[in-house]
Amino acid sequence: QKEVEQNSGPVSVPEGAIASLNCTYSDRGSQSFFWYRQYSGKSPELIMFIYSNGDKEDGRFTAQLNKASQYVSLLIRDSQPSDSATYLCAVRSSGTYKYIFGTGTRLKVLA
């Protein structure tokens, strides 16, 4: 059974700090990695994707991928109260249309 694991949290950080969210996956054949933000009662919104080892930056967000250790991280710099949400990690394996989602990590940014 292919799995994606996330700490459910909550992860609490003060406003302006860096928030770090982590995700591990079990399938070594995974090739695409995604981070979604989901506000309560709303649908997931794609915020980052990464395909290659290393870092990928987009504004305040940085995704980090380490295929050897099978983890992917999301860093949020200068965290704002509006970043408070649940963050879902998703993985797609090569040769399949299916995406496997973690259960999400709840982030709380304290004003």
Partner 1 sequence: DVKVTQSSRYLVKRTGEKVFLECVQDMDHENMFWYRQDPGLGLRLIYFSYDVKMKEKGDIPEGYSVSREKKERFSLILESASTNQTSMYLCASTTRTGSDEQYFGPGTRLTVT
Q: CA dist 20 to 12, 58, 80, 96, Å?
A: 10, 15, 13, 29
Site size toward partner 1, by CB under 8 A: 20
Which value, in Å, is the radius of gyration of the alpha carbons in the chain? 13
Question: Near partner 1 by CB under 8 A, which window of 9-17, 19-27, 32-40, 76-84?
Answer: 32-40
| Options 21, 87, 104, 107; binder of partner 1; rule CB under 8 A | 104
CB of 111 to partner 1, least distance (A): 26
Closer residue to partner 1 in complex, CB, 25/36: 36
Asked if 21 is part of the footprint of partner 1 (rule: CB under 8 A), the reply reads no
Q: Which of 75, 93, 77 has the alpha carbon at shortest distance from 33?
A: 93
- The residue ranges that bind partner 1 (CB under 8 A) are 32, 34, 36, 41-46, 49, 88, 90, 92, 97-99, 101-104
